[in-house]
Amino acid sequence: MAASILSFARRKAALACDAHLRGALTILALALPTVAPARAEHAPVTAVASHIENAQDHTRLVFDLTSSVAAHVWPIANPARIIVDLPEVSFQMDPSANRGAGSKLIRAYRFGQFAPGRSRVVIDLAAPASAVRVESQPAPSGARLIVELAPTSAARFTADAQAAGAIPATKASTPPPAPIGLAPLAPTEKPVVMIDPGHGGVDQGAVARNGTEEKMIVLAFARALRDKIEAGGRLHAVLTRDDDIFLPLAERVALAHRANAALFLSIHADTLAAPHVEGATVYTVSAAASDAEAARTAEHENNADQAAGLETPAAEGEIGDILLDLTRRETHAFSRQFSHSLVTRWKEAGSLNKNPTRSAGFVVLKAHDIPSALLELGYVSSARDLARLTSPDWRDRAAGKTAEAIETFFAARAPAAVVAAPVAPRPE
């Protein structure tokens, strides 16, 4: 214990030096003898509350924890954010309380799991700011983590963010390690449907006024859909995430490739300022958005990585390969065919958007060889949609219709499926 504290202290000194140079701050709570030894090996630290304190010259974000934790705090630009990296912390707080409204420096903040064993708080800045102090103090809950921000110039913020990005151990663009639990899939003769519940972990997605989070709505729907598909017996359904964990967009597509998926369906729920807009929409990928609303939705959903504090990767160049182009065209035709099948079935379930078939440049739909669609189940900003989205009955019926649409899509492609799977038993 003493040795590890000593080595912590050395690391702290080294990091404090880095921090000074690079705009990042690290604390390790050494001055809390009443807290640290009480913490059992690997016992999870729980965050029970958080609040913002606004002062004339600074703003503090405060977390009440059951025990002290090491925190690494660093800035990231475009848009301006402060990232607080923590070991695994279980956030057991009212989800509707994490908004940050009314602060001069903090526009919003969110928190959750970032990768196995790692948690993260992402602070969206309302104005350029530096983390000037990061401290752990004893508190009635166990410990209090204080992140103090002070206003800075835009130029200084950018310089700090560039410097922080140069620290290899916390490089923002490094994707988190592959999530636990995604062991290689068992070989299956059935076509694989990859269901992708959007968001997760630190990225909560759209949040309803009552605090209901998109990441939980879509996970419940994805699980119900998987069960319907599996019960049908003809297809094998797999989820990109079956837990409340963060997954980068590229990793979702990579999982579909690894599973040799024959269809990729990303599940989301949207939000709008206009509370009367309701109903489900099915999106496919296109270079130019079908309409302004589709462009807005794609921009919003493509920001998922950014919401978790990853840097937005540079747009990939178009590959001028004719074979790839042909594959892409064929895949796109299948994607549209599936999207029509889905809209037809959802008509029967009701609750479709007025303009339910749209397209835009969704990053998560860009696999060139897997037919892909994104289903926005509805709007959490609509009271009627929210009642549907959180109703187990509605979920069961809508997941059933979605599974039927998927079955219809594969039935139309049956000859190809048999060729691809020579040992597959005939259904009849």
Binding site for Zn ion (CB under 5 A): 198, 205, 268, 301
What b/e string do you get for 194-219 counting C-beta neighbours within 10 Å, with b at 16 or more? Answer: bbbbbbbbbbbbbbbeeebbbbbbbb
CB of residue 266 to Zn ion, shortest distance in Å: 8
Q: What angle do CA 22, 28, 34 make, to 5 degrees?
A: 160
Compute CA distances 89 → 58, 86, 98, 178, 273, whole Å: 26, 7, 16, 19, 33
Rank residues 50 and 266 by Cβ distance to Zn ion and give the closer one: 266
Closest to 395 (Cα-Cα) out of 229, 245, 220, 213: 220
DSSP 207: B
CB of residue 255 to Zn ion, shortest distance in Å: 17
Rank residues 191 and 205 by Cβ distance to Zn ion and give the closer one: 205
CB of residue 348 to Zn ion, shortest distance in Å: 24
CB of residue 410 to Zn ion, shortest distance in Å: 26
Rank residues 198 and 201 by Cβ distance to Zn ion and give the closer one: 198
Helix or strand holding residue 230 (H, E): helix 214-232
Rank residues 148 and 203 by Cβ distance to Zn ion and give the closer one: 203
Cβ count near 102 (within 10 Å): 9
Closest to 352 (Cα-Cα) out of 365, 337, 342, 363: 342
CB of residue 214 to Zn ion, shortest distance in Å: 5
Rank residues 310 and 417 by Cβ distance to Zn ion and give the closer one: 310
Please report, as a single letter, which amino acid is at residue 210: N
Rank residues 135 and 242 by Cβ distance to Zn ion and give the closer one: 242
Q: Is 136 exposed, middle or buried (0-12, 13-18, 19+ CB in 10 A)?
A: buried
